[in-house]
Structure 1
Amino acid sequence: MSTAPDEATTAEHHRHPRPAPHPMPEALPLDLSELIADRQTRIVVCCGAGGVGKTTTSAALALAAAEAGRTVVVLTIDPARRLAQSLGLAELDNEPRRIDVPGAKGELHAMMLDMKRTFDDVVCAHAPPERAEQILANPFYQALSSSFAGTQEYMAMEKLGQLRASEQWDLIVVDTPPSRSALDFLDAPNRMSRFLDGTMIRLLTAPARAGGRAGMRLVGAGFLVFSRIISKILGGQLLRDISSFVSALDTMFGGFRERATATYELLRRPGTWFVVVATPESDALREASYFVDRLSTEGMPLAGLVLNRTHPPASIALSATRAAGAAEEVLEAGGEGAELAAGALRLHAERMSAAAREQRLADRFTSAHPEVPVRTVPAAAGDVHDLEGLRVMADALTGPDADTPTGVPRTRILPARHR
């Protein structure tokens, strides 16, 4: 038989070799131990989608920092009670509360933002007593300070600025609200400015700004017609409340804006780091990509991604396929303990398959964001509700990169496959 076709095929192959597949990107290591131990680090902001363990991550990092000798306060903007529960407390309020951490070299404090109380404190601190009393009693202010969209984020900026200015803590850990609104506090100064400086507010308060009856003459007949229409829609009393509120607040609003802008700039300077938290699920990692892109757009310093609640196998020596095949062989052979052994092998096969799926999702994120360091954290056996549980998570967040049961670096769930 002629060998010419085979030789021709070989020659063709050498002329046009098949391109080698690209190896999957390997994530950079995220060293959170060094981050929180560095005295230059003053603010750590944890952000991410809801339900990814962001609050527990914030508390665990704060605990690790306190045990490393830092004086830490962890501030949650999330109205849920998860931070208090993870610290073993019944509740938290708007003032930092010290947490007893036996053996810690530093101190740990925790608090939960109360946006109305924070707003009240700002008014009392920056307005004369009579003006402050007038503002606090105003019905429109009472609605604005407790339920207006954006007030929570604006007050978060105020509280963060207060904590940083006090110099009482050398590290502040911020746990932001769930979902994409977690980064809305970056927009807080502009949003509040747009609201109070907006065309509608200026029209509604024109008479008060112009001054009584003379002002009414100045704003003209057109405005009077507009005012009567708006009064019918909103009610005359609400219109007067808004006018009175803005007039009373006008003298101090410049200070609001300046402080919020200063805090915004503080978040962009050296000493602040953002940590994005996600789970190895498509939706959570999609949100993580959004946060990474948004932080890049804002020029905010990103430390990296914490990939929480991963499921690494107890051993990487046996693949899922081989484990499943071995389970069938054990059952066929029979004998004492065959069912138990087969069950253990099937469980390992399931764990390896889950880990492989999670690693593929993590690799996809790293392909899109190769510059973002990653730290994987295994899922806890149950909910974290005390300091001991937080310590376990803190160890996973800050332990040496290769100090895992299987030796797989903490940047990954399974070893990298080099092709």
Structure 2
Amino acid sequence: MTAAASGDAHRPARAAGTPRYAPPVDLAELIADPDTRIVVCCGSGGVGKTTTSAALALAAAEAGRRVVVLTIDPARRLAQSLGLGELDNEPRRVDVPGVDGELHAMMLDMKRTFDDIVVAHSTPERAEVILANPFYQTLSSSFAGTQEYMAMEKLGQLRAADTWDLIVVDTPPSRSALDFLDAPNRMSRFLDGTMIRLLTAPARAGGRAGFKFASAGLLFFSRIISKVLGGQLLRDISAFVSALDTMFGGFRERATATYELLRRPGTWFVVVATPEPDALREASYFVDRLSAEGMPLAGLVLNRTHPPASTRLSATRAEVAAESVDDGDGAPAALVAGALRVHAERMTLAMREQRLADRFTSAHPEVGIRAVPAAAGDVHDLEGLRVMAEALTGPDDDTPTGVPRTRVLPARRG
């Protein structure tokens, strides 16, 4: 196993000198290691986090582990690829013939998770009031940041149950990959905000004098805010916050506990990106954030790369050869020339992707890379997931061209 995926060190140390090439990532050993309990796949939207998460979970089940994969992706691609009609907020077992372990899958239901928290941490009477509150119904289904926070809540619940050997998390398709990490702190800031403190002042104040003081503050506050929100919405918010007041400490404690869980040994982050500037820029931000927070990074999955069928013929030589063949007559010559030009285009694309990967490695020389070729089409079944799982976990140098899986093209000599 590489330094980045070693159980002995929580995160890899920077080498004494800048390495010339990215180190490999041994995801096979990482997911088979019994000390690995949580793998979080993260990155910007549209880079293949859901498929990567499912493929790693399948590989872990084939390695004999009892795995659950939690997706936050509402597009239901995970259910389709696993052969399930649908997924919901409870783990469902996936029928995978011939594996030594077990594979379970679930899709976060943001509102149901919030409802379960309310019911579990309040009295039946108070829970009924909260669940019926119009502001709560909006907050639990569409409030900015709620999805990320509920993903953290569900992760904490799954880990506390201690039912699975490994939990694989597909993080929400947010605008920023950092939203998942920021969710607990944002929730704490929301609970400690001026608006919340004003709205909960009557419930928290003790005695008649305290209530009068709180009421005076609320009167001034409500005159201003009701012009913006409207009187009825303000009353709904005030009633919701007052009913939820006794649960605030629990929200904060669980947010802190889950955040700390992500920093403990046994948790690994896998950053997923495509060989595109925006995706790699987002991946770079995330790597920096993980480093700043002291969180364990396994490495970068460079997804949907386009390695050529052969690396022996450069794009320039292929173009020259195509022009030479064009001088010939008949369909065979045209076919050969066309194949040469396709190869030239593929080599040009691969060179661009390798330059982008090299730029990332220059900025983060300690971060291992696993390059995964693009599939011919969408992954929609278990067989497609197995192909991707092999690309993620296969031996580093076992590729059709012999190019290590850390790269799209061979390293230059000299």
TM-score (normalizing by structure 2): 0.91
Q: What does the per-residue CA deviation read over 1:242-266, in whole Å, with 9 as the maximum and x for residues that have no partner? A: 2222222221221121112111101
Aligned partners of 1:56 and 1:384 also within 8 Å:
yes
Q: Any runs of at least 4 consecutive aligned residues in structure 1 with deviations exceeding 6 A, and if so which?
A: none
For residue 46 of structure 2, the aligned residue among 48, 51, 57 is 51
Determine if the alignment matches structure 1 residue 171 to structure 2 residue 204.
no
Alignment partner of 1:339 out of 324, 334, 341: 334
CA distance in 2, matches of 1:48, 1:98: 27
Provide the C-alpha distance between the structure 2 equivalents of 1:262 and 1:326, rounded to a whole number of angstroms. 62
| RMSD of aligned alpha carbons | 2.1
From 305, 316, 325, the counterpart of 1:321: 316
What letter matches 1:309 in structure 2? R
Alignment match of 2:132 (pick from 128, 134, 137): 137
- Structure 1 match to 2:285: 290
1:26 pairs with 2:18:
no
Deviations 1:102-143 (A, max 9, x none): 111111111111111001101111112222122212222112
Aligned 8 A contact 2:199 2:241 in 1: no
- Aligned to 2:94, which of 96, 99, 102? 99
Deviation at 1:159, TM superposition (A): 0.3
* Contact 1:208-1:243 within 8 A present in 2 as well: no
Q: Say which SS state the counterpart of residue 181 (structure 1) adopts.
A: coil
- Deviation digits for residues 200-225 of structure 1, max 9, x if unmatched? 22223333433797655333656534
Q: Partner residue of 1:253?
A: 248
| Contact 1:41–1:273 under 8 Å retained in 2 | yes
Counterparts in 2 of 1:35-184, with a 5 A limit?
35-184=30-179
Worse-superposed segment, 231-240 or 332-341? 231-240
Deviation per CA, 1:157-213: give whole Å up to 9, x if none.
Answer: 110000001111110110112345333232222212221221122223333433797
Q: Is the 8 A contact 1:66 1:72 kept in 2?
A: yes
Asked whether the equivalents of residues 43 and 282 of structure 2 are also in contact (C-alpha less than 8 Å), the reply is: yes
Q: Report which of the two structures shows the higher radius of gyration computed on alpha carbons.
A: 1
Deviates more, 1:384-393 or 1:349-358: 349-358
Residue 365 (structure 1) aligned with residue 356 (structure 2): no
Amino acid at match of 2:219: L
Provide the rounded CA distance (Å) in 1 between the counterparts of 2:256 and 2:63: 32
Q: CA deviation at 1:333?
A: 3.6
Question: Does the CA-based 8 Å contact 1:309-1:379 persist in structure 2?
Answer: yes
2:181 equivalent to 1:186: yes
Q: 1:389 aligns with which of 384, 388, 401?
A: 384
- Alpha-carbon contact 1:154-1:192 (below 8 Å) kept: yes
Moved more, 168-177 or 76-85: 76-85
Contact 1:48–1:180 at 8 Å: present in 2 too?
no
Distance, in Å, in 2 between the alignment partners of 1:151 and 1:183 is 14
Matched AA of 2:248: F
CA distance in 1, matches of 2:226, 2:313: 75
- Looking at structure 2, the residues matched to 222 and 334 of structure 1 have their Cα atoms a distance apart, in angstroms, of 90
In the alignment, which residue of structure 2 is the partner of 1:243?
A: 238
Amino acid at match of 1:87: L
User: In the comparison of the two structures, how many residue pairs are matched?
Assistant: 398
Asked if the contact 1:330–1:341 (Cα under 8 Å) also holds between the matched residues in 2, the reply is yes
CA spacing shift, 1:227–1:406, aligned 2, 3 Å:
closer
Inter-partner Cα distance in structure 2 for 1:330 and 1:24: 42
**1:17 is matched with which residue?**
none
* Equivalent in the alignment of 1:350: 345
What SS class does the counterpart of residue 60 from structure 2 fall into?
helix
Separation in structure 2 between the aligned mates of residue 271 and residue 220 of structure 1, nearest angstrom: 49
Structure 2 unaligned segments of length 5 or more: list them: 1-17
